[in-house]
Amino acid sequence: MILLNPKTEKYEHLDEQSREIMFKTIAFFEGKGKIKTIEDFNDKVWYDDFLNFVKENKIFATLLTPEAYGENCRWDTRRICDFNEILGFYGLSYWYTWQVSILGLGPIWMGKNEAVKKKTAKLLQEGEIFAFGLSEKQHGADIYASEMSLLPIGDGEYRAEGGKYYIGNANKAALVSVFAKNAETDEYVFFVADSQHKNYDLVKNTVSSQNYVAEFALNSYPITDEDILTTGRDAWDSSLNTINVGKYNLGWASIGICGHAFYEALNHASGRRLFEHFVTDFPHIKQLFTDAYCRLTAMKLFALRASDYMRSASATDRRYLLYNPMVKMKVTTQGEDVINHLWDVMAAKGFEKDQYFSVAAIDIRALPKLEGTVHVNMALIIKFMPNFFFNPGEFPEIPERVDAVNDDFLFNQGATKGLGGIQFHDYHAAYDSVDLPNVSLFKEQIEVFSRFMLEATPDQEQGKDIDFLLIVGELFTLVVYGQLIIENAKIKGLADDILDQMFDVMVRDFSKFALQLYSKTSSTDKQMAICLEMIRKPVVDQDRFKRVWDQFVISKKGTYEMNP
């Protein structure tokens, strides 16, 4: 029941209005059909049909307008997750125009300009899309080095000069939220620009796809105080807090892509006979599908649980700032692993242009590389490691959050500093609540890793070695990943067989990263010895594996196929 099947999903956790949005969106794509959807991808067709559908049904307006600015609207992360998954399931291009609209809206809703907020709500009702003008050609997302400038000319008027690069929706956006510096004070500033203005130069599309990911330039673009969203520290904070809200969605796009690819690969393999056997009869194929299923189920369990913490966040509970970049970093890289497993099954079939899989294999690679690379997100995550392991705090238990309320705190997150001081609840509680062979083995690996940090702490030079720290970070994120998976497995009533099989995969992953750390040029004898203790073989249980295969994997053959 964890994986999305668009033809049977009831969305019973949502209110009637939200369910209707999900059903209509599924009906749009199923009505368009697989052939036309893939043709549009291959021919790089701009998605006017989808944007017209969104406009007619006021979908972005309903889902992306905070309740204070629209009737029957709210910013509800849980239903945003569902919509993310649907769009990823049918095509990343459709998800992308939605995603960059979310990013463009972030500085507006987080800003102080009420007039722009009211204007934005009206534009959303009219079906418009938005863009986030942050990155630049020479600096990428290094916002310290931003060269876009806003020159004051007196009487509350300014001229904007400079370029932005790799900006989605920037060809059609009604408002582009642009990050710049005041040319006189060097203060950060966010303002809005109209992509159709004569002083807005749409230089080119930087990618070859359905999307328009622009290079644009502002040439003496006129700005007034009425266009300015935030200045100084507020502008800086809104840029990072927008990414906090937006980067989370990338994991959900990956979940959607992998779900569709899983069904297509299973349908293909289970109906194909080679050497007098169905492909799905071969042991290595069963292992590939089971690993893919376990990874995908874990991705969704983690991302759902992370949304509970996002929706429950407050000034005194910012645990989501660890879980959020993990959905971006860990879930998207796991998505690549899922597609790799499935591609080993699909083989040459995965290249065929009329298969969804050929689209998935391309699109899945993009997600770990957007909104900051895996490296950037891992560098952020590592800051939380000391408090997570050695200085837990006391927090009330966070319930599943499917309530139909506006997530106010996400647009009032405040300062972005002080991450190293954030505390987390004791991870032992989740792991000690489960008595399963591979979970117990994983707990032993965690304890060895904890000892590694105390007894073989990376030295100053190793601390400068990003690759070394990335591997340490991978081990750390596996601990957090398993913790939230266990928490959500309890909420969802997940079968013990599935949970233990998931940790079979995670024990192997932990061992893989331990071996990589052992093999680093700079690793010391002490570090190498402890790394060897982390390397374990999962507890093998053929009966459990067979139950998972029969009940949860092969049982899904023929249960979903997109309308032609």
C-alpha count within 13 angstroms, C-beta hemisphere, residue 191: 27
207 touches 184 (CB < 8 A): no
Beta bridge partners of 179: 190
Q: Measured in whole angstroms, how far is the alpha carbon of residue 9 from the centre of its chain?
A: 22
Q: Is residue 391, in this structure, part of any structural domain at all?
A: no
User: Is residue 399 assigned to a domain?
Assistant: no
For 94-128, give the DSSP string: HHHHHHHHHHHHHHHHHSS-HHHHHHHHHHHHTT-
Residue 274: predicted pLDDT: 81
Look-up: residue for tokens 């080993």? 344
Model confidence at 330: pLDDT above 80: yes
Helix (H, G, I), strand (E, B) or coil at 4: coil
Angstrom distance (rounded) from CA 363 to CA 95:
11
Residue 313 neighbours by CB under 8 Å, 6+ apart: 319, 320, 409, 410, 413
Residue 193, domain CATH: 2.40.110.10
Q: Return d(Cα 445, Cα 457) in angstroms, integer.
A: 17
Same domain, yes or no, for 435 and 497? yes
Whether residue 512 contacts residue 334, with contact meaning beta carbons closer than 8 Å, is answered with: no
Question: Mean pLDDT in the chain?
Answer: 95
Compute the half-sphere exposure of residue 207: CA atoms within 13 Å on the CB side of its CA.
20
Residues 460 and 560 reside in one and the same domain: yes
Asked if 82 and 159 sit in the same domain, the reply is: no
Task: Label residue 44 left, alpha or beta by phi (over 0 means left) and psi (-120 to 50 means alpha).
Answer: left
Confidence band of 282 (pLDDT split at 50, 70, 90):
very high
Reported as type and span, the H/E element at residue 217 is: strand 213-224
Asked if residue 66 belongs to a domain, the reply is yes
The pLDDT score that the predictor gives to residue 373 is 61
In this predicted structure, the answer to whether residue 414 has a pLDDT above a threshold of 80 is no
pLDDT reported for residue 372: 59
Whether the CA torsion 13, 16, 21, 27 is positive or negative: it is positive
Does residue 301 fall inside a structural domain? no
CATH number of the domain within which 87 lies: 1.10.540
pLDDT band at 507 (very low <50, low <70, confident <90, very high): very high
390-399's contacts with Cβ under 8 Å and 24+ in sequence apart are 391/423, 392/423, 392/424, 392/425, 392/426, 392/427, 393/423, 393/424, 393/425, 394/425, 395/317, 395/319, 395/425, 398/308, 398/309, 398/312, 399/308
Residue 253's pLDDT band (cuts 50, 70, 90): very high
Give the up-direction half-sphere exposure of residue 441: CA atoms within 13 A in the CB hemisphere: 22
The verdict on residue 106 lying in a domain is: yes
Domain boundary among 112, 127, 142: 127
| Measured distance CA(168)–CA(132) in Å, rounded | 7
> Which tens digit of pLDDT belongs to each residue from 364-380?
999 988 765 666 677 77
Token reading at 216: 């644009």
Do 112 and 201 lie in a common domain? no
Residues 210, 172 contacting (CB under 8 angstroms): no
Domain boundary among 76, 97, 127: 127
| Across 68-91, average pLDDT | 97
What is the spatial distance between Cα 319 and Cα 259, in angstroms, rounded to a whole number? Answer: 28
Could you tell me if 431 and 564 lie in one domain? yes
**434-447 per-position pLDDT tens digit:** 999 999 999 999 99
Residue 464 has pLDDT above 90, yes or no: no
Higher-pLDDT residue of 494 and 415 is: 494
* pLDDT score at 378: 75
What DSSP string describes 124-166? HHTT--EEEE--BTTTBT-GGG---EEEEEETTEEEEEEEEEE
Same domain as 87, residue 32: yes
Q: What is the pLDDT at residue 188?
A: 96
pLDDT in tens, 139-182: 877 777 889 999 999 999 999 999 999 999 999 999 999 999 99
Residue 369 lies in a domain: no
Q: Give this prediction's pTM.
A: 0.96
Summarize the confidence of residues 524-539 as an average pLDDT. 97
Answer yes or no: is 357 within a domain.
Answer: no
Using CA atoms, how far apart are residues 180 and 108, in angstroms rounded to an integer? 15
My answer on whether 83 and 141 are in the same domain is no
d(CA 502, CA 529): 27
Q: Is residue 316 part of a domain?
A: no
The total domain count for the chain is 3
For the chain, helix (H) and strand (E) counts, in that order, are 21, 10
Q: How far apart are the first and last CA of the chain?
A: 25
Could you tell me if 501 and 446 lie in one domain?
yes
H or E element that contains 37: helix 34-42
147 against 85, higher pLDDT: 85
Q: 148 lies in which domain range?
A: 132-232
Angle, to 10 degrees, between the axis of helix 374-382 and the axis of helix 466-492? 80
Half-sphere exposure of 334 (CA within 13 A, CB side): 34
Which residues sit opposite 165 in a β-bridge? 215
101-115, 212-226, 456-470: which has the minimum mean pLDDT? Answer: 456-470
Domain ends where: 73, 92, 127? Answer: 127
Phi/psi at 58 (5° precision): 50, 45
- List beta partners, residue 190: 179, 230
Pair 106, 154 in one domain = no
Do 496 and 470 share a domain, yes or no?
yes
Tell me, yes or no, whether 439 and 460 share the same domain.
Answer: yes
Is the domain of 86 the same as that of 28? Answer: yes
Confidence of residue 382 (pLDDT cuts 50, 70, 90): confident
Return the pLDDT at 106: 97
Predicted confidence (pLDDT) per residue in 177-197, tens digit: 999 999 999 999 999 999 999
